[in-house]
Chain A
Amino acid sequence: DGGITQSPKYLFRKEGQNVTLSCEQNLNHDAMYWYRQDPGQGLRLIYYSQIVNDFQKGDIAEGYSVSREKKESFPLTVTSAQKNPTAFYLCASRSESRGAIGYTFGSGTRLTVV
């Protein structure tokens, strides 16, 4: 079955450390997205990528970095510069084909700073 896989499900980070969240999709989707979810604030866009080797900052990109070396993969690094990284992170993908409907989301990674 095609889908989008995020790993790990839970991640604990010490202050000052960088961590990388994995996102892989086998849907052959062109575009991929990273969102951050905090209670009562909905989903906020961190970064997105429409094609391989290209990505754009979203609304809250500071303290995060991404890469898109393969169509299937869009890892997110939470750097030590991100002052409040504890959150639920959601990866999504979307076909760029005409008529494509919305995003397909992964099941999320919950990051906690300890």
Chain B
Amino acid sequence: GQQLNQSPQSMFIQEGEDVSMNCTSSSIFNTWLWYKQDPGEGPVLLIALYKAGELTSNGRLTAQFGITRKDSFLNISASIPSDVGIYFCAGQPREDNFNKFYFGSGTKLNVKP
């Protein structure tokens, strides 16, 4: 299957700090998604990106579809304790006709009050 490299693997930050994480692939993707997973629950969609260069916000979250179509970034501004969780990127390869998404290994975010 496709390989998505997501970094960093984990982060420990202070409440109020900004956070950045990214995801890269070896092939071109049509769609990038960012999910958040709370402990013991299923991932919930945060942001969807469909065009190279697209920048989309959802509250304090901002994500970008990289110009090369091989990467995506997620930024969280002014972090709060409820931001704790695992953030996953997911991408759909251009050549894939079956609507399968491939997932990164996740970024575990810890926020200290």
A2 at the interface (CB under 8 A from B): no
Q: Which of B4, B9, B45, B106 sits near A101, CB closer than 8 Å?
A: B45
B78 at the interface (CB under 8 A from A): no
Chain B residues near A108: list those with CB within 8 A. 40-42
Inter-chain contact A40/B90, CB cutoff 8 Å: no
* Alpha-carbon gap, A58 to B102, bound state (A): 11
* Alpha-carbon gap, A41 to B90, bound state (A): 13
Q: Is the interface of A mostly helix, strand, loop or mixed?
A: strand
Inter-chain contact A42/B106, CB cutoff 8 Å: yes
Chain A residues near B99: list those with CB within 8 A. 31, 50, 94, 96
Produce 1/0 per residue, A37-73, CB < 8 A to B: 0001111110010100000101100000000000000
Given known A-B contacts A41-B105, A42-B105, A102-B90, A110 and B40 have beta carbons under 8 A apart: yes
B44 at the interface (CB under 8 A from A): yes
15 additional A-B pairs beyond A102-B48, A110-B40, beta carbons within 8 Å, are: A40-B9, A41-B105, A42-B103, A44-B1, A45-B100, A48-B98, A50-B99, A59-B1, A92-B42, A102-B33, A102-B101, A104-B45, A107-B42, A108-B40, A108-B42
Number of A-B pairs, beta carbon distance below 8 Å: 64
* Alpha-carbon gap, A41 to B99, bound state (A): 21
Q: Which 10 A-B pairs have the closest CB atoms?
A: A105-B42, A42-B105, A43-B103, A59-B1, A42-B103, A102-B33, A101-B48, A102-B45, A107-B42, A105-B43
Interface residues of B in 1-55 (CB under 8 A from A): 1, 4, 6, 9, 31, 33, 35, 40-45, 48
Inter-chain contact B43/A90, CB cutoff 8 Å: yes
* Alpha-carbon gap, A50 to B35, bound state (A): 22
Chain A residues near B45: list those with CB within 8 A. 101-104
